[in-house]
Amino acid sequence: MYSEKVMDHFSNPRNVGEIENASGVGTVGNAKCGDIMRMYLDIDDSGVIKDCKFKTFGCGAAVATSSMATELVMGKTVEEALKITNKAVMEALDGLPPAKIHCSLLAEEAIHSALWDYAEKN
């Protein structure tokens, strides 16, 4: 049912945690299942994402997509990170079952929300 990459990122999620004094923080909720996700970004003066961490109460699919998403945004510029879609994250994970696609949206929305928070502060 789940790809090896999904199981890997679910069992060993990357970049779980918080960043103190983060450049941007985004918290989003999933209307469909009631879950929440928080994403922290640390962005340097040249607009490059130096660190990214997340916390979620969401399911395994939400954990796996967020973990992969943090790896994809790391080292990217704000402009590049804005272009990362949940489709790209799912492809990097070799797909997700249709019933779990809404879970993958949490990661995309949380990153956008954190980037928005950063933009408002700068």
The per-residue DSSP string of 70-89 comes to HHHHTT-BHHHHHT--HHHH
Give residues in contact with a second copy (CB under 8 A). Answer: 1-2, 10, 32-36, 56-62, 97, 99-100
**Measured from the CB of residue 6, what is the shortest distance to a second copy in angstroms?**
9
Tracing tokens 């890997």 back to the chain, one arrives at: 8
The smaller minimum CB distance to a second copy, of residues 107 and 115, is found at 107
Q: How far apart are CA 56 and CA 107, in angstroms?
A: 10
Question: Closest by alpha carbon to 90, among 78, 79, 76, 103?
Answer: 103
Question: Is 52 annotated in the active site?
Answer: no
106 binds, among a second copy, ligand FES, none (CB under 5 to 8 A by kind): ligand FES
Q: Assess whether 103 carries a catalytic annotation.
A: yes
Minimum distance, C-beta of residue 98 to a second copy, in the bound complex (Å): 8
Helix, coil or strand: residue 39: strand
Q: Phi/psi zone of residue 104: left (φ > 0), alpha (ψ -120 to 50 degrees), beta?
A: alpha
**Min separation Cβ 93 and a second copy, Å:** 14
In the complex with a second copy, the residue whose CB is nearer, 34 or 79, is 34
* Residue 44 DSSP SS3: coil
Catalytic residue among 49, 103, 107, 110: 103
Among the options 18, 33, 94, 119, which is catalytic?
A: 33
